[in-house]
Structure 1
Amino acid sequence: MKKQINLVFLFCMLIAMISCKQEVQKAKEVIIPKAVLMDKIKGGWAGQVIGCTYGGPTEFQWNGTMIGDEVPIVWDSTRMAWYYENTPGLYDDIYMDLTFVKVFEEHGLDATATEHALAFANAGYALWHANQAARANILAGIMPPASGYWKNNPHADDIDFQIEADFAGLMAPGMVNSAAKIGNSIGHIMNYGDGVYGGIYVAAMYSLAFIHNDIEFIVEEALKLIPAESEFYQCIADVIKWHKQHPEDWKETWFETQKKWTFDKGCPNGVFRPFNIDAKINAAYIVIGLLYGQGDFGATVDISTRCGYDSDCNPANAAGILGTMLGYSQIPDFWKQGIDKVEDLNFIHTDMSLNTVYEIGFRHASEMIKKNGGHEEGDNLVVKYQTPETVPLEISFEGIYPKERQTVEKQISTQNPEVSLKMEGCAFVIRGRAYKKEDLPAATIDVQLFIDDKLVEEIKLSTQLLVSRHDVAWNYEMKEGTHTITLKALNIEEGYWIDMTDMLIYSTNDPEKQIFY
């Protein structure tokens, strides 16, 4: 009986997909049965959890190198439950999504970027990179889009919005421009330029996956939203080109991508280091998994994971997109094994489980369809299909180039409340943070930043990691030349200190145009 039911559901799915394709071609309207819509939304959310879990043990363990075929990655019915119970922070990219889902649930589909920003900044979970820099900005009164702008956020091109943008596509089936509008609003909370494009691109692939069952088309069509002048576009376009040249060997495309696009220009943690959390290179690994997986769920997850770097978030995006295209019912049982053990468990820092977000996601998608010109017809929803419209061009770190990383290893304390550093260039980022002895209460240290004896900023550095700046100080608006950077603590007390580890220095001179002997 179960087999007969599955065959009937498959037949309905096939008819729906054929109908969708015909409707898109003829009238720009698509009929989606409600049962199919729910199945695809479930596939998108469940796919994220499966991909994130599979890649969890490998995250940033293979930097600048692929995970070889000889390296086993375990998968069985216990994996998801184990992470939920023992390392629930693994699912940060999902509970971050749910922050924005909840804001839409509480404030409606017209919720503002400010409402999303405040919920995100005041949440109880730890953040990193662009997210943490944005949180510190928002708590200091720097609201979006300024909170994600690269001159205020050294991590603007990092992966952050890309890994948490799934919700924007899942609530906009067949409506890529609506997904991009959501992405532009929320993405600028923590990112800018390529960092925002990563989220818009991922959301657009989800949106298209509701309508189309050709993964190559989805990958290429979604890219139309991204400006061709951007490095993000060029990187993904290269991956698509290399896939056509080497259709049978994902490793050839991985090598080409690694050679050309693995550099990092912005992230102070990654520049001149193997670590790379830049949006475009990790998006390339999502696309490599999707293209070479050829619609096979297991192959897609495994390839995206074995590309390395952020190898839990990348397969989570890839598996979520493919899970949306296939639908929950068509994700192989092997990959769904154990998901029944966690679907009623709330994600850490939330009051939402998978089963909860399946229902909320279906409702939000239905509301978005109607909000954007669609309507309901009995057991079906009629979507007003959108063709991609390119979003405006933004470029982070424009006109400046990483020059060198200097070791600093200096400390600001009661004994030494002022530190000066020399540099040659046009911009800098000083890495480090504020600390305290364990028995002392958390405190905020006020620091003045001087450039060439001119006060340019007053900085607040909290010893509480949850709300502190990700980096001590930075400035991207200096003239090329020799400069003295001075940091002076105003209210530091015994038992509190600031460690500065290193300084990333930029120049207006493009190293690719220089000749070295």
Structure 2
Amino acid sequence: MKLTLAEYRNKVRGCWMGKNIGGTLGAPFECRRGVFDVTFYTQDLKGEALPNDDLDLQLVWLNAVEKHGRNVSATILGEYWLSHITPNWAEYGASKNNLRNGLLPPLSGYVGNEYRDSNGAFIRSEIWACLAAGHPDIAVQYAYEDAIVDHSHEGVYAEVLFAAIQSAAFVESDPYRLIDIGLSYIPEDSGVARGVKSAINAYQSGLSWQEARIQVLTDVPGSFGFLGTPPETLTGDIPNGPIGWDAPGNAGITIIGWLYGEGDFGESLCIATNCGEDTDCTAATLGAILGIIAGEQAIPQRWVDPIGDKINTWCINFCDRGISLPQTVGELTERILMQTPLFLGPEICDFIHSDSGYTLELLEGDKLSNHGQRVNCWVYNEMKDLVSQSPFVVHHDFNIFSTYLDYHDEPYIQAGIPRALTLTIDNQIFMQQWLDIRWHLPAGWTVSPGARIGSQLEQYHCNIGKTIIEFVLTPVELLQSRYDLVLEITSQGRPTKGFVPVVLINGTAAKKN
């Protein structure tokens, strides 16, 4: 299936207009637990949408893509966080604190982060869906890189789910089919999957949306709405869950709005908002999905006129230069469309043989769902494997080889107590390599099997070679709060040197989460 540039533009504009509408509608009710009776905007908007971090953060990601293209990664996005995004609340603040202390993603999204399972990642899925329209297998890879900066587990699963749904929505319109596509990319036993399935079950069982809300928030109880609601107004109809464990319930609420709205744009967003909890996020995410499916022209004008085309922001550092922010939905759309050919490449985006700008070759049918990517006759790579990967595994790509350093646990150390680390090196070229692996350690520290070893990284017939080495570090007296080590990996006869930073924190001075 091919998508023309005009069709693509219409759906991308629909995505961001729906996002702006939903965020503006839900913002006044954010972090409130209860059942509301919203039927339209509840404030005088004076022709402009409300600022919202759901959209703000993606304007920064756009700048990262414009500079780094398809090479954008969690580490790059982490640097953009520190330079250009101001909030320090909840998961945002915890991850920024970790990044400042040298902890790279996914460690930055996990260590000391009570809100790692919350909603701050799935609200950023749209940019990856738009850049990889009709290719959820690509969209979810970038959604994962995005999410692990400041989340893990449920927070990551939620962004992957919605990135897949929104990317597939450029091709597919049936809600159940789209939900199945999204679920195919995340663990079946995850809280997010349970929340989504609970919403579907409630709808198909004939419950009202009010009853569906109770069922979902009982099946996957969180704390988001509880924290922002005065105790005397709580009704006690749903339990309070663990602090920060909020993505499952809010993903379920988004699905409630979608199913119970039954194709009506305004009704769908109002139902999502009326369920409470993280209302700007649920309504904005749903607005983006519906905007992609139907395109901008299908969004009722009564929802567009009060907010216009302008984008307002409030979470971005305006004082230090380095990024250029789109001022309108139209400008945001055009800047994304300019990146798509380079982001997807000529095999998907044909900008040579089209008389109308370019066309996109989209996946269809079963190809939209998660399926293993064949490496060789024996090995398939599954996106689920990556999504389910331990939050203690830090990845680096050095072109001719990739490394995965597994900390096995949070990166704390104590004097005299051995600490195991596992290094996996994957050959990325179709020829053998000899590697020289060297540790740069603080004075007095020891490592086995040695501070400098050699290893063959063979490329087998129809296979990619792999080396796995178990190292055991033993630190001496710890006088610093943090220690920076380096693993230097050299491929003999080649100019590439890979430097893997290893950050370990004095466990006697740091409180483990």
Equivalenced residue count is: 366
**SS, match of residue 56 in structure 1:** helix
**How many angstroms does 1:388 deviate by?**
2.2
- How many Å apart are 1:145 and its aligned residue? 1.6
Q: Structure 2 CA distance, aligned partners of 1:457 and 1:47? A: 50
Which residue does 1:97 correspond to in 2? 58
Q: Counterpart in 2 of 1:189? A: 149
Query: Which residue of 388, 394, 412 maps to 2:369?
Result: 388
Q: Secondary structure of the equivalent of 1:79?
A: coil
Q: Does 1:312 align with 2:280?
A: yes
- What one-letter code is carried by the residue in structure 2 that aligns with 1:382? L
SS of 1:382 mapped into structure 2: strand
Secondary structure at 2:106 match in 1: coil
- Between Structure 1 and Structure 2, the one with more helix by share is 1
1:387-429 Cα offsets, whole Å, 9 max, x none, are 322522639999xxxxxxxxxxxxxxxxxxxxxxxxxxxxxxx
Over 3 Å counting, the alpha-carbon distance change for 1:371 and 1:341 in structure 2 is closer
Matched, 1:120 2:81: yes
Unaligned 5+ runs, structure 1: 1-29, 399-453, 460-471, 477-517
Alignment of 1:31-430 (within 5 A): 31-61=2-32, 63=33, 65-67=34-36, 69=37, 74=41, 78-79=44-45, 81=47, 84=50, 88=51, 91-149=52-110, 151-246=111-206, 249-263=208-222, 278-340=246-308, 342=310, 349=316, 351-353=325-327, 354-370=329-345, 373-376=348-351, 377-378=353-354, 379=356, 381-385=359-363, 386-389=367-370, 390-392=383-385, 394=388
Report if aligned partners of 2:53, 2:314 keep a CA contact under 8 Å in 1.
Answer: no
Report the residue type matching 2:41 in the other structure: V
Q: Deviations over 1:192-251 (max 9, x none)?
A: 1111011111111110111112223212221111111222212212222222112x7222
> How many angstroms apart in 2 are the aligned matches of 1:277 and 1:229?
15
Q: Matches of 1:226 and 1:171 in 2, distance apart?
A: 21
Match of 2:469 in 1: none
What TM-score do you get using the length of structure 1 for normalisation?
Answer: 0.64
Give the distance between the partners of 1:81 and 1:274, measured in 2 at CA: 39
Deviation string 1:127-164 (CA, Å, 9 cap, x unpaired) is 32112111111111111121012x44222111111112
Q: Is there any run of 5+ residues in structure 2 with no aligned partner, and where?
A: 230-238, 317-323, 371-382, 393-476, 483-508
Which whole-Å CA distance do the structure 1 matches of 2:391 and 2:78 have between them? Answer: 23
Identity %: 24
Higher mean displacement: 161-170 or 248-257: 248-257
Say if 1:72 and 1:299 are closer, same or farther in 2 by CA, change over 3 A: closer
Quick check: 1:52–1:313 contact (8 Å CA) kept in 2? yes
Q: Give the TM-score of the pair, scaled to structure 2.
A: 0.65
SS at match of 1:324: helix
CA distance 1:360–1:238, change in 2 (3 Å) = same
CA RMSD of aligned residues (A): 3.3
CA contact (8 A) 1:275 1:309 kept: no
How far apart, CA to CA, are the structure 2 residues paired with 1:141 and 1:340? Answer: 42
Q: In structure 1, what is the Cα distance between the partners aligned to 2:104 and 2:135?
A: 28
How many Å apart are 1:336 and its aligned residue? 0.6
CA distance in 2, matches of 1:240, 1:181: 26
Instruction: Decide whether aligned partners of structure 1 residues 131 and 371 sit closer, same or farther in structure 2, where only a CA change above 3 A counts.
Output: farther
Partner of 1:494 in structure 2? none
Q: What CA distance in whole angstroms lies between the structure 1 residues aligned with 2:129 and 2:80?
A: 20
Contact 1:162 1:198 in 2 (8 A): yes
Is this contact kept in 2: 1:154–1:268, CA < 8 A? no
- Do the aligned residues in 2 keep the contact of 1:130 with 1:160 (CA within 8 Å)? yes
CA contact (8 A) 1:282 1:310 kept: yes
